[in-house]
Amino acid sequence: MKAYATPLVKFEFISQEIGIDVYGKLEYVNPTGSHKDRESRNVLKDALSKGFAEVAVASTGNAAVSLAAHSVAQGLRCHVFASAKIPEEKSKLISSFGGELHKVEGGLREAHAECVKFVERHGIYDANPGRNFKKIEGDAVIGEEIAAQLEARPSHVFIPTNNGTLLSGIWMGFRRTPMRPRMVAATAPVTEIADSIAGYNRLDGAALDAALGESHGLALKVDDGDIIPATLSLMKEGVFCEPASATSLAALRRLHSEPHELAGPVVLLITGTALKYPSRIGGILSSRPAIR
């Protein structure tokens, strides 16, 4: 399970718009199209070292696709608990990679509760957010990579956030370096299009709050009215991500429109590819809003 560094690129149009250097950390170029591969690799290393043959996770889609793919590659059986409303494109991918999908009425929290019962009943390896520190540890490498890739110190790092696993992990990585940017959680508690982070479920809430507190960071709510133009602006930069990932840019625009201390440069995490989610992108484009 080899790990690869992802690119850090400067966004030209967005930097001009905001008036500071804005970089994108392109996590969507990971093997299954999201940062979740960072977590899956570390989690499966742990599961294998402990002799487990089966793993289980509750997910909004990306973690499940990733864990299923890496599990099949390692000869492990993977159970996925997801909302019955999981987008069909993502459920097909999970099944294609041999993941056994258990659909649950409700959202991520209900799927998580069912998955926890299942692992406890069957003695299966628990890969759930909030219950497995290996996920946070897997994401820590992202913070270390940014510190190595960026010469100037970033003032803020904007991160699409649901459970807070990713943000806590990146902060853990920065703490291994001299860089101490403010961590900004971009959240979408109410959304029709940012499915992967809908609800702001905070299953790693304690680690998330600690990272926000220590980094003097903040959580910023965005809505679909912010996320659609952000998704389109990223396309203009040559970045095709799912709408949940464009919340990092939407949150930057929110902060930029208020009195703030954006000393620059800043980094946006671009977490998941649009290619796993064509219907959502098609829906956005068919409404033909202006790209700025």
Ligand X SMILES: Cc1ncc(COP(=O)(O)O)c(C=O)c1O
Residue listed under structure tokens 């999201």: 34
Instruction: Give the residue, chosen from 60, 71, 83, 132, that forms a contact with ligand X under the rule CB under 6 A.
Output: 60
Q: Which of 166, 228, 246, 249 binds ligand X (CB under 6 A)?
A: 166
Site stretch for ligand X (CB under 6 A), options 57-65, 78-86, 113-121, 251-259: 57-65
Amino acid making up residue 168: S
Stretch that binds ligand X, among 156-164, 176-184, 213-221, 250-258 (CB under 6 A): 156-164
Q: Which is closer to ligand X, CB of 3 or CB of 20?
A: 3
Residues 72, 74: Cα–Cα separation, whole Å: 5
What is the CA angle 219-224-226, rounded to 5?
A: 65
Which region, judged by CB under 6 A, interacts with ligand X, from 15-23, 60-68, 250-258, 259-267? 60-68
Task: Give the shortest CB-180-to-ligand X separation in angstroms.
Answer: 20
User: Would you tell me the crossing angle of helices 133-149 and 165-174 to the nearest 10 degrees?
Assistant: 50
Piece of the chain touching ligand X by CB under 6 A; list 64-72, 91-99, 222-230, 238-246: 238-246
* Residue 232: both structure tokens together: 């389109």
128 binds ligand X (CB under 6 A): no
Site for ligand X in 179-198 (CB under 6 A): 196-197
Give the x-and-dash track for 14-43 against ligand X (CB under 6 A): --------------------x---------
First-to-last CA distance in the chain? 40
Residues 6+ apart with CB under 8 A from 53: 76, 77
Residue 243 is a binding residue for ligand X (CB under 6 A)? no
* Residue placing its CB nearer to ligand X in the complex, 153 or 221: 221
Q: Name the minimum Å distance from CB 41 to ligand X.
A: 15
d(CA 187, CA 199): 8
Q: In terms of CB distance, is 87 or 154 closer to ligand X?
A: 87
Q: Which residues bind ligand X (CB under 6 A)?
A: 34, 60, 62-63, 160-166, 196-197, 242, 244-245, 271-272
